[in-house]
Structure 1
Amino acid sequence: MAFNFDECIDRRHSDSHKWQKYANKDVIPLWVADTDFRSPPCVIDALHQRVSHGVFGYGVVPQKLGTLLCERMRDRYQWHIKPDWLVFLPGLVSGLNISTRALTEREQRIVLPAPLYPQFGKAAKSAGRQQLPVSMHLVNDRWLPDIDGVIQQIEGNEKLLMLCNPHNPGGTVYTRQELEKWHELAKAHDWWVCSDEIHCDLILEPGARHIPFASLNEDAAQRTVTLLSPSKTFNLAGLGASVAIIANPRLRQRFVAQCAGIVPSVGVLPLIAATAAWRDGDPWLVELLDYLRANRNWLTTQINALPGLKMVAPEATYLAWIDAAGLDVEDPFRFFEQAGVGLSPGRDFGDPRFVRLNFGCSRQLLAQAIERMSRAISEG
């Protein structure tokens, strides 16, 4: 391999939020969705070159960045978008919050699958919006929403459907048929759609293919805000560069108006990093996916061999959703934390019986974590 993903980079004494959570504690942090891999050399080189200039005033989004993204969506996902559809943001979470506020009124409800990445629910709560959760269930070893079940709960005041594709947690990559079922529901009830597709490049399952919700048809395009970022793909989360793709000019105007005076523009260094990643980072990404896929396969076998734990292999992402209901413990998150492994608590996503494990790390570190988890279970 041209890139060394086995390299163990010491982040314990850095400014890493992931590692600082357990500063001065013997806990392996496998929680927040931030990998331990060095970012692509092309990104590091581009940042060095820009830093050497020495002046960091207000910047503008380079025209080539929009062109690169349009070409990337066309070539990877057969989705034909235009540069004037793009609204650049300093982070994807701000896009969730802006979508919530721009596309709903206070008396309207938001429809969203559950369990789900916590920032979706936080965005709704912050805006004072009620939520209609759609339960996720295992179907043939894939986490899928019970759309038929939620239809009976629709009251007529729902206005926004919030999707996460690939789904976090669980790692489901929705098929065209599954997305079309969502679209039928959104069209029938005249819902806007906000689709978080930040993990779209991290497809691990052979044969699975990411399909942007807005690419389904023209109606889907006109009712959707798609949120993307290079941050998960290329480990650039600390730099903060994201984008909302909005084909509908009226929708885009509402979104931009909600940003005014609240959401800052993207800094010059994040724009440089995003440009380099989308332009030159794919050779690195190919090898990253091979490494993550091997980690996923190894981890799935290891977890399912431990008494009381169950896990299905995620089709995408580097996040394992682990069912710990079989353990005789009150709080699986605390149980494993006390054993020296820091996971994400399932309660934050909507189900306290689960924990989420980030396997975006060296195999050596992952093996150490599994050894600690195994020892904790065996010792009771």
Structure 2
Amino acid sequence: MTFDFDRLPDLGAGDSLKWNRYAGREVLPLWVADMDFAAPPAVVAALQARVARASFGYAEAPDRLVATLRDYLQREYDWMIEPEWLIWLPGLVSGLNLACRAVDGDVFSATPVYPPFLSAPRLAGRELATVPLVRQAGGWRWDFPAVAAALAAHSATRLFLLCHPHNPVGRAWHDAELREIAALAERHDLVVCSDEIHCNLILDPARRHRPFAMLSESAARRSITLMAPSKAYNIAGLGCAFAVIPDAGLRRAFVAAMRGIVPHVNALGLAACEAAYGASGDWHAALLEYLRGNRERVEAAVSRMPGLVMTPVEATYLAWIDAGELCTRHGIAEPQRFFEAAGVGLSAGADFALPQAGGRAHPENPARHFVRLNFACPRAQLAIALERMRAAVASLA
């Protein structure tokens, strides 16, 4: 079966957060992390069948969905979970915020990182310590000595927020890196909340995602794994995610934090989730092949733009682009606004890092000269965006 990723779906209903930002303007939106592709046919068919029932009361995950999800996790990752470990959520960001409330202590994470990692601790009244990832030849890496020092200096820390694979730097963490994190969690008695929403967007065909909780029984006991079909199957607007929490005590604390503030998952989200994990494998394989081609086009184009640098994208459909040299050379304060003026709407790098590192104040945001580009769009659209970026950079010469 073939799928048409070159066709832009109908986005004219006026409810697209991504496209509404630039409504009426000649700006291509390549910012927020959803895809400009039609959803999998199996998902569309499942939604049509569910709507035809004309019943939309409070919903809960049926047994067949739980079975489908368990089969999916075992098939894709050799991860065998028990049904009672599952907690259904209306979105993954809810899970990040709940983890910060359920674990009694302060929080650690590495930057740059998905912005809710930075806001969730504050909203829960927790202190957040951060250490920056470091860029080396070939990609971004953990500075584990700095992480260890930060954890030692912030003895009240009890929660490690892990982005795995990492948004925005595009790393798919190796087992050795995950084992180092697990050792630190053991040493400092930390719960690891692992955001694995991009786990099924590994772009290297030879790589396979390893859930953090699969490292060992000890890692599983101190883990909260957050997943959702929203990114890889383009159904973010249907609001369906889940947490996997093997430890009963930690699970009770998480559920207690939900009471009174977290609504039920909606019925359409549950139907879409079942179809995504149970009947969309061919579509997903074709998607990954298309994204690999788009990644290559972005990497090649950026390499020819003076003043821009990016490292290989191992996972996600997000390119993290360093425009620092361009900004310094030409006095550009905000590269996101520079490219927006050229007709390309990117995410501003400053949103992905607090103005601090290792708990110490920084004079300025370390990610301010970066932009994040979402390349999950039809090739023709991507080509126009990359050409606009090239022309904007060339105009400065």
1:43-69 superposed Cα distances (whole Å, 9 cap, x missing partner): 100111111111211122111111111
Q: Secondary structure, in 3 states, of the residue corresponding to 1:160?
A: strand
Shift of 1:175: 0.8
Q: Among residues 132, 135, 152, which one is paired with 2:132 in the alignment?
A: 135
1:2-13 correspondence to structure 2 within 5 Å: 2-12=2-12
| TM-score of the two chains, using structure 1 as the length reference | 0.97
1:117 and 2:114 matched: yes
| Counterpart residue type for residue 35 of structure 2 | T
Matched length: 377
Shift of 1:238: 0.2
| Counterpart residue type for residue 64 of structure 2 | K
Q: Among residues 345, 348, 352, which one is paired with 1:349 in the alignment?
A: 352
Q: Which residue of 2 aligns with 1:337?
A: 340
| Superposed structure 1 runs of 4+ greater than 4 Å apart | none
Report if aligned partners of 2:339, 2:345 keep a CA contact under 8 Å in 1: yes
User: What's the Cα RMSD here?
Assistant: 1.1
1:164-220 superposed Cα distances (whole Å, 9 cap, x missing partner): 100001111111111000000000000011000000000102432211000000000
1:257-309 superposed Cα distances (whole Å, 9 cap, x missing partner): 10011100101110000011111011100000000000001110101110110
Shift of 1:78: 1.2
Report if aligned partners of 2:160, 2:192 keep a CA contact under 8 Å in 1: yes
CA distance in structure 2 between the aligned counterparts of 1:160 and 1:222, rounded to whole angstroms: 13
CA distance in structure 2 between the aligned counterparts of 1:291 and 1:19, rounded to whole angstroms: 22
1:48 and 2:45 matched: no
Shift of 1:323: 0.5
Q: Which residue of 2 aligns with 1:251?
A: 250
1:107-256 correspondence to structure 2 within 5 Å: 108-153=105-150, 154-155=152-153, 156-256=155-255
Q: Which moved more, 1:204-213 or 1:182-191?
A: 204-213
1:309 and 2:318 matched: no
Q: Which moved more, 1:37-46 or 1:64-73?
A: 64-73
Q: Secondary structure, in 3 states, of the residue corresponding to 2:88?
A: strand
CA distance in structure 2 between the aligned counterparts of 1:180 and 1:247, rounded to whole angstroms: 18
| Counterpart residue type for residue 384 of structure 2 | Q
1:290-301 correspondence to structure 2 within 5 Å: 290-301=289-300
Q: Which residue of 2 aligns with 1:272?
A: 271
1:371 and 2:390 matched: no
Q: Secondary structure, in 3 states, of the residue corresponding to 1:187?
A: helix
CA distance in structure 2 between the aligned counterparts of 1:251 and 1:319, rounded to whole angstroms: 32
Question: Structure 1 regions of 5+ residues with no counterpart?
Answer: none
Q: Which moved more, 1:9-18 or 1:364-373?
A: 9-18
| Counterpart residue type for residue 102 of structure 1 | A
Question: Structure 2 regions of 5+ residues with no counterpart?
Answer: 354-366
| TM-score of the two chains, using structure 2 as the length reference | 0.93
